[in-house]
Amino acid sequence: MRKHFGLLFCFIAFTSNIEAKKLTAYYSTGNYYSPKNGAYVETYLSVKGRSVTFVKNAKGKYQGSIEVSVAFMQDTLVKNFQKYNLLSPELDDTLHEIPNFIDQQRYTLANGTYEVELTIADKTSKLKPFKIIQQLTVNLNPNICGFSSIELLESIKQTENENIFSKSGYDLIPFVSSYYPQYVSSLDFYTELYNADKQLGKGEKFMLCYFIESFESKVMLSSFYNYSKQTAEKVNILLSRFSIKDLPSGNYNLVVEAHNKSNETIAIQRQFFQRNNPNVGFDLNDMKAITTTGMFVEKHTNKDSLVEYIRSTKPIASTLEKNFIDNESKNVDLLTLQKFFYGFWTKRDEKLPEKKWLEYNEQVKIANKEFGSGRIKGYLTDRGRIFLQYGPPSYRNSYLNEPNAYPYEIWEYTRINSQTNRKFVLYNPDLITNNFKLLHSDLIGERYDNRWQMVLTKRVDQGTDLDKEKATPGYGSQMDDNFNNPR
């Protein structure tokens, strides 16, 4: 039985690459609960030092200054607001290494849905400020056992003097990105579990299990699993790390679960991240131990057909599996293909892998029929991939003849895992084929482009400035309404 803590935002965290030609920063949010003061939101901002304009200050040192404003709005009313200057470290010169600098703030918010508007500007630059808007929902239920956000960490040390980065006796410097490049070898993280004492009884024993899973398939990676035995309190903490030296490139979730004595999951939290590790690839030796004798894959004896079946699994395959499909599947023998195919579906349903495959193949047939474009199979298109990965949308609306815009569709899903009301904007820039391309989505892990309206209107407005904050819709345009109010 799974329960989700009502405090958590539907949009748990967002990370945006903010680029105003020169200024580069990363912004994310997390949410927590204090038994004494209630729910609060943490915001994390990391500014790339090399992207900031440095000038001499009164001390003769070089320093950058960033103006930041954060507004939490509800029905056009500002519920919380802060405007402040973020100063870089002082430097003797700007010829050597310039460090990034990090800021963290905390805000108290009541239950409800908010628009978070972040504006950031380099005070010593003439470039105009950059603004992003994201939506979040606060739904506090202080009587349900559940997790805070999972905070990814850059560094950890014991607290000597209490400061804004202090939690539970440690100074936790946030890793303000969901992208882990090759040179980063560990994933450090922190989370809090609330109300375990109410759910289980104060002092009761339970386990916090944590692991890494494929983002696409939700299959746990057995080499990245651990647990912590704990005693139920009002607030339990988990501060831990995984070595990701051998984690292949791909999209993943860091997952934390609370299990009671009966091994039932009473709370769960996920945090998306990306790994770039090109030196770790698919190892064909891993399939040697797979036995296919007497299994359903034995009847797939036509190599070309089996390759096609394997290719159709790309929308739900992990990055490592995709690498095999793209680079190895046409070059290996039939037995290796059978082992890969069997292993693929056994990971997704150990008891009934064939049933899982046949159900998926029926969806592939639907995708091919509805989203195919010329010689391009439907499962290889963006619409087909989204359909197969997340299922049919709750709402799908087509806008093929809107003035001043390419033909486009907006898909909305009321829930994808722990995220709610996620949208996809797909458009047809060539006006001929049926191949609509993904332009923008607010789902974590998907393509995000806050300029999507400008791209849609570029067909007739060849002078559209893609550096503008927002497109000016032409006569008859209903882009905003179509996106915000699906029907």
pLDDT of res. 290: 84
pLDDT value of position 157: 92
Residue in the structure block whose two tokens are 């296919």: 292
- Any residues with CB less than 8 A from the CB of 203 and at least 6 apart, and which? 197, 231, 232
Is residue 441 within 8 A of residue 423, CB to CB? The reply is yes
| pLDDT score at 487 | 67
Give the architecture-level CATH label for domain 1-141. Sandwich (2.60)
Q: Give per-residue pLDDT as tens, 39-90.
A: 888 999 999 888 898 999 999 999 999 999 999 998 889 999 999 999 999 9
- Domains 1-141 and 145-280 alike in fold: yes
Averaged confidence pLDDT in the chain: 86
Residue 15 has pLDDT above 70, yes or no: no
Contact 244, 180 (CB under 8 A): yes
**pLDDT at residue 205 tops 90:** yes
- Residue 189 is which amino acid? F
Query: Could you tell me the pLDDT band of residue 477, with boundaries at 50, 70 and 90?
Result: low
Tell me what percent of the residues of the chain surpass a pLDDT of 70. Answer: 91
Q: What is the pLDDT of residues 104-163, one digit of tens each?
A: 999 998 877 888 999 999 988 877 788 888 877 777 677 889 999 999 999 999 999 998
Q: What is the residue extent of each domain of the chain?
A: 1-141, 145-280, 284-383, 393-484
Would you tell me which CATH number, out of the four given (3.60.21.10, 1.10.357.10, 2.60.40.2550, 1.10.10.10), belongs to the domain 145-280? Answer: 2.60.40.2550
Please tell me the predicted confidence (pLDDT) of residue 218. 86
**466 or 455: whose pLDDT is higher?**
455
Judged against a pLDDT cut of 90, whether residue 465 lies above it is answered with: no
pLDDT in tens, 284-326: 777 777 888 899 999 999 999 999 999 999 999 988 899 899 9
For the whole model, what pTM was predicted?
0.77
At 32-44, the pLDDT tens digits run 888 888 888 899 9
